Amino acid sequence: MQEIRTPGMQHVVLSQKSLADYAPIAGESVIADIERLARPLQGARVLHISSTAYGGGVAEMLHTLIPLMRSAGLDAEWAIINGNDDFFTATKSMHNALQGMDLELTNAMRAAYLHANVDTAVYFEGEYDFIIVHDPQPAPLRTLRRSDGGKWIWRCHIDLTAANQVYWSFLRPFIEAYDAAIFTMPQYVKNDLHVRKLAFVPPAIDPLSPKNAPMDDERAAEIVRMYGVDPTRPLLVQVSRFDPWKDPLGVIDVYRSVRAEFPGAQLALIGSMAHDDPEGMEYYQRTKEYADEDPDIHLLSNLDGVGNVEVNAFQQAASVVMQKSLREGFGLTIAEGLWKGKPVIGGNVGGIPLQIEDGVTGFLVESVEEASAAALEIMRDPERAHRMGEIGREVVREKFLSTSNLRNYLRLFTELMEQEASESKSRMAKPVAW
């Protein structure tokens, strides 16, 4: 991945992808529907704006979504905003507060947040038909670029149900300047939010990416062995940032409970250190201390050379895939685990129940005790676990692949165009007052 640096934003250089390559997986009918929806949008200029080009689910999805938009005939780009450490410290606090933490919003944090967005807005260049702004970090851009044309869409990837009111009151006016807002599910929309159009789009995984492409068991075993894991022994895996909301300490507790019955069990906690997450290293250290030098607890990240292929291998080799989140906008790692044919244990929060049907494709849990019981149930009955995994893979194929994500965006673009045409026609039909 390369970036073209400009004073205001960095434009990400992306690989090429072809919709035709997805037809054998998603189905010919899905590709045909995408082509139908894209026909009236040929050549439309689309800009996605986010805070980082790597680390986390948003960046991962955009690395596939935008090339697929191009393959469908749209002129799509991706830019990331610039910001200093003060900006990213403020936006990390904003992320945590919007998910329910009781945090103070200081004047210095407001200033750092607004200054970075003003700087980005001043150097904003180009005319676009659709501008999609992802999450709170660049949210003020629409307010700061009110005279720009095109349809502006705010895409929220986090769970706002328990949002800190001070932070939400600060952010809400910026969101209400948009033409539309996308949420993962209706429950995330605050009652006092007034946006002209709402859309609900679940995130999605790329089945052809190195993280999700087919990998045989032998290759997966070779890779995990390189990181000190014994592929012949039971393995619990959680892939997520080192973040209190992901509850890695609780996952360690689950592992310790499981060891009472399966003393050979191992645990791999795999995270990615992203530049917009200044707390990541601090929480990694806290998790490391909690692991207490247990040789069967493996804390791994991109700093250890663990990338998409390695994550694929660990999920493929896992006896149990977990996502024991305490808050979770969606949790792409759940869809990834299901796609590998594994039942997944997930916290019964946010967007996780959209993906896991309790007792059918995995288990929804609300405590360490429930998670431990679910892990033991999976480990005791491998045949049932295999059946659950097969069902889960088909759920992902139907609902949570990148092709579904693209189709949902094309539908929204079409609806916004039709809405504008209808409003324009209505204005023309009004009698002139002399």
The answer to whether 287 touches 299, Cβ cutoff 8 Å, is: yes
Is pLDDT above 70 for 398?
A: yes
Q: What is the DSSP string of 42-97?
A: TT-EEEEEES-SSSSHHHHHHHHHHHHHHHTT-EEEEEEE---HHHHHHHHHHHHH
Closest CA to 319 of 254, 403, 378: 378
pTM for this prediction = 0.88
Question: What's the pLDDT score for residue 277?
Answer: 62
Is pLDDT above 60 for 4?
A: no
Out of 13-27, 181-195, 274-288, 380-394, pick the least confident: 274-288
- Token readout for 334 is 């759940």
3-class secondary-structure state, position 430? coil
Q: Note the pLDDT tens digit of each residue in 343-360.
A: 999 999 999 999 999 999
Question: What's the pLDDT score for residue 45?
Answer: 98
Domain ranges of the chain: 2-204+402-423, 217-399
Q: Assign 421 a pLDDT band (cuts: 50, 70, 90).
A: confident
Q: Assign 54 a pLDDT band (cuts: 50, 70, 90).
A: confident
Q: Which 3-state string (H, E, C) describes 8-57?
A: CEEEEECCCCCHHHHHHHHCHHHHHHHHHHHHHHCCCEEEEEECCCCCCH
Q: Assign 278 a pLDDT band (cuts: 50, 70, 90).
A: low
Architecture of the domain spanning 217-399: 3-Layer(aba) Sandwich (3.40)
Q: Assign 3 a pLDDT band (cuts: 50, 70, 90).
A: very low
More confident of the two residues 9 and 8: 9
Query: For the chain, what percent of residues have pLDDT higher than 90?
Result: 86
Q: Assign 6 a pLDDT band (cuts: 50, 70, 90).
A: very low
Query: For the chain, what percent of residues have pLDDT higher than 70?
Result: 95
Q: Do 2-204+402-423 and 217-399 share a fold?
A: yes
Out of 31-45, 54-68, 378-392, pick the least confident: 54-68
Question: What's the pLDDT score for residue 273?
Answer: 74
User: 2-204+402-423 sits in which CATH class?
Assistant: alpha beta
* Mean pLDDT confidence for 218-228: 98
Question: What's the pLDDT score for residue 5?
Answer: 37
Question: What's the pLDDT score for residue 135?
Answer: 96
Q: Note the pLDDT tens digit of each residue in 61-105.
A: 999 999 999 999 999 999 999 889 999 999 999 999 998 999 999
